Amino acid sequence: MKFGVVVFPGSNCEDDTVFALKYNLGQEVVKIWHKDHDLQNCDFIFLPGGFSYGDYLRSGAIARFSPVMNEVIAHANRGGYVMGICNGFQILAEAGLVPGVLLKNTTQKYICKNIYLKPQSKSALLTAGLEERAYKVPIAHGDGRYFADEDTIKALNDNDQVLFRYCNEAGVIEDSANPNGSLQNIAGVTNKGKNVFGMMPHPERAADGTLGNTDGYQILEQILNVLV
């Protein structure tokens, strides 16, 4: 399994993602510059967190038109695997690779803290094998409020496309555990084909024992459990 991490101007989590994949998960990984037209034969593409193009216009709105995204979209349309984390999720939404949009947090403030997630989808490779419990994973975003129209939300639920919902430490999904106002506490979704994954929390920042938290490792490990 070969992983590629796309680097946009303003990305700041590419090294975290590379470290988690290469040193924590022991996988081959390369960085891919946003102007490249070659995915270097990677099987799985990551769009990392950060502030691509300074988050001008809307978060992810300019990065969506970076040259490499033509290749990423083609890869996804062929059934190839793509995952966007935080800003990467926003880019996926702007590119139409996952449904919905990410709006400003209801607090109108940037939020950086540990939160809890509960896996939802029983059919997506990222969550199907996870234990049904609360996973502690950090968030760091100002535009993380997931929103979609009523029909889209219904389709996400009917098709088992919701990956994670925000919950409390006990695993209870409730309004008080929702850090940004996302509809139905949604923290991550997949596309209909379940080969493209987007989530706002950062599992790569909770993937090493030296950080005192390996819940993110357990999430990323699901990729290997299914595909390797």
Point out the residues that are catalytic: 86, 202, 204
- CA-based radius of gyration for the chain: 16
Closest alpha carbon to 47 in 12, 78, 91, 16? 91
Rounded to whole angstroms, the Cα distance separating 30 from 33 reads 10
Phi, psi dihedrals of residue 191, rounded to the nearest 5°: -75, 175
Residue written as tokens 């234990």? 131
Listed in sequence order, the residues at least 6 apart from 191 whose beta carbon sits closer than 8 Å to its beta carbon are: 76, 97, 98, 99, 161
Phi, psi dihedrals of residue 28, rounded to the nearest 5°: -75, 130
